[in-house]
Amino acid sequence: MSFITFKDVKKSFGGEPVLNYVNFSLEKGGIYGFIGRNGSGKTVVFKLMSGLILPDSGTILYNGENLTRKRRFIDSMGVMIETPGFIPHYSGMKNLKILNSLSAYPVKTEEICGFMTRLGLDPRNRRPVRTYSLGMRQKLGIIQAVMNKPELIILDEPMNSLDTTAADEVRKLFSEINKEGATIVMASHIAEDIESLCTRKFLIDDKTVRECE
């Protein structure tokens, strides 16, 4: 059985169609790359996949469950879509601890510290997130998406604002998490991310989605 399935999915905003009769299926355990020009609908596909918005028509199945009957955020899912949002006057560590406490699958503080240290963030630093650079915020967003070991991880342009060293480490992290069983769905304008990580690739164009060769 497919892990995620889109069947004849349509979505419009203000009467303007963004997606029209989208059909594709993803199997559990892969790394899937979605590419497309700006405004092609990548973020909309990801919001539909995560249950953050509902389609106008069609069906979206997650592990056989119909997500189109009501908007529902899946418990075992990590998401980073668009600019990561955090409480600006709290430190990175405090933000992650709050998010961890809200998770259905909380992890130990030591594990959060391990993720921060690996990606070059100091968990002991009380510096408020409002003073973070774009790259630091991006790292924090990646950590919040993966730290609770979700079975599905959805990432919209995860390498934005990362330097080469950080991007290489994040790619290694994604590969390790995938080998541990997580399914990863990501969009990236960086060809290396898609080519080096993804087992299957999809192009979003002309309001639909098709698999690339």
Ordered by start, the domain boundaries in the chain are 4-211
With b for 16 or more beta-carbon neighbours within 10 A and e for fewer, the 72-83 pattern comes to eebeebbbbbee
Query: Per-residue pLDDT tens for 60-77?
Result: 999 888 877 665 667 789
* pLDDT of 73: 66
Percent of the chain with pLDDT over 70: 97
Interatomic CA distance for residues 44 and 17, integer angstroms: 11
**Cβ-contact 174, 33 below 8 angstroms:** no
DSSP state of 128: B
CA distances from 25 to 59, 112, 185, 195 (A): 12, 32, 12, 20
Identify the band that residue 149 occupies on the pLDDT scale cut at 50, 70 and 90: very high
* Cα dihedral 174, 85, 151, 66 sign: negative
More confident residue, 49 or 65: 49
Mean pLDDT of the chain: 93
Whether pLDDT at 1 is above 70: no
Mean pLDDT value of segment 186-196: 87
* pLDDT of 64: 85
pTM summary value: 0.94
**Cβ-contact 107, 147 below 8 angstroms:** yes
- 82 contact partners, CB below 8 Å, separation of at least 6: 43, 156
Identify the band that residue 155 occupies on the pLDDT scale cut at 50, 70 and 90: very high
Mean pLDDT value of segment 104-120: 97
Classify domain 4-211 at the CATH class level: alpha beta
* pLDDT of 71: 58
Both tokens of 185, joined, read 């769905």
* pLDDT of 37: 86
**Cβ-contact 35, 198 below 8 angstroms:** no
Whether pLDDT at 188 is above 90: no
